[in-house]
Amino acid sequence: MTDTSNCTQAHRDQAIAWLLRLRDAPADTLLEQAFAEWLAANPAHPLAYQQAEAQWAWMDAFKGQGFRARDEALRYRPPVHKPLWRGLAGYGMAATVLLGVGWAMFSPQGWYGLPRSYGTDKGQRQSLALSDGSHLELNTDTEVRVHFNHHQRHVDLVRGEAFFEVGHDVERPFTVHVGNVLIRDIGTAFDVYKQSGQISVAVREGVVEMEGQGERREVSAGQQLAYDNGGRFVEVSQADIASATAWRQGLLLFRGRRLAEVLAEIGRYHDVDIRLPDPKLADLRVNGSFRTEQLDNMLNAVATLLPVNVKRIGEKEIVLEAAR
């Protein structure tokens, strides 16, 4: 974890000044040497410079748009005859105004905010700490877009599955949009899974409100609710929050699940096609707990529990057949 406690505003102002100087004279070797010496002089300097670059990147997205403070800051250049340290101070003052405008407008707490995308590949998981104190966990093959600003906290679940632990903020509601469903948080921890035929929500703590085509339902702690592609809410009579969220510990937990569904879940975590040619096998029931990363162990366990054989056709193709 990076220690930010020693990174002061003075360090950030210096970093902003260096950022502008280097952009203004990209081939100045003496300036580059002085910059390298500044970075090495204090452990806080590299961190301050990283933060300055990140703030500048926010403003880069709007470089074609005119803002008075922005334009004046970009036009500002300190007098040539001043010593380097004074020139840097002049750059820092102008840039502080510029990046201050950027923070006020485009930061997660600003009036507009800038959306950010996060994603995982197959077999990966990722945990994110959001700017409001909320936490977001992404399951395998998942993509989200996070858009926070002064008025709202909004997440688009593009694909996959995510678990949300939401920090309470009455002034800024937290919403999740997935498919045709809008989910409103009411101080909760909950899982959202976008499947091919439906969107499933499992609530571990608190309450969420699901809205689809004008109809609203509340889902409380310990409950699950789905919304299918036909625009209908689907009740889950025997909610199993532990199974729905076991992926957070790297597990797949099945309690009487159909084999066809189990294989589809296993396939989410591995770049392999798992086929079940015989439809009579699809309704066989699976019970057990499996590590998501251990493909062979999962399939061998299934073959031990059920009357099936595992046959590898190639590196990326597996077939389960009836045992003879």
So where are the chain's domains?
9-106, 116-240, 250-322
Read off the DSSP letter of residue 166.
Answer: P
Q: Which alpha helices (H) appear in the chain, and where do they start and end?
A: 9-24, 29-41, 44-60, 68-75, 84-106, 241-245, 259-267, 295-305
User: Average pLDDT for residues 142-146, to the nearest whole number?
Assistant: 95
d(CA 131, CA 166): 11
User: Region 140-169: what's the mean pLDDT?
Assistant: 92
| Residue 258 in this model has a pLDDT that exceeds 50 | yes
Residue written as token pair 């025997």: 238
C-alpha 128/C-alpha 119 separation (Å) is: 11
Mean pLDDT of 273-296: 95
pLDDT digits (tens, 9 = 90+) for 188-232: 899 999 999 999 999 999 999 999 988 999 999 999 999 999 999
Express each pLDDT in 93-125 by its tens digit: 555 555 555 544 444 444 445 678 999 999 999
116-240 has which CATH code? Answer: 2.60.120.1440
Q: What is the pLDDT of residue 84?
A: 46
pLDDT computed for residue 63 by the predictor = 53
Decide if pLDDT at 302 tops 60: yes
Percent of the chain predicted with pLDDT > 70: 79
Choose from 64-78, 139-153, 218-232 the range with maximum mean pLDDT.
218-232
pTM, entire model: 0.69
Structure tokens at 311: 């046959």
DSSP letter assigned to residue 270: S
What per-residue confidence (pLDDT) applies to 85? 44
* 71 has a pLDDT exceeding 60: no
| Residue-level pLDDT at 64 | 54
Tokens of 323: 């045992």
Identify the pLDDT of residue 62. Answer: 56
The residue among 247, 244, 186 whose CA lies nearest residue 219 is 186
Dist CA 148 CA 170 (whole Å): 14
Q: Is the pLDDT of residue 2 over 50?
A: no
Weakest mean pLDDT among 91-105, 250-264, 270-284: 91-105
What is the pLDDT confidence band of residue 250, given thresholds at 50, 70 and 90?
very high
Interaxial angle between packed helices 84-106 and 44-60, expressed in degrees from 0 to 180 and rounded to the nearest 10: 50
User: What is the CATH number assigned to the segment(s) 250-322?
Assistant: 3.55.50.30
| Amino acid identity at 287 | N
Which pair of structure tokens corresponds to residue 187? Answer: 């101080």
Question: Range with the lowest mean pLDDT among 67-81, 226-240, 261-275?
Answer: 67-81
Pairwise CA distance, residues 162 & 165, whole Å: 10
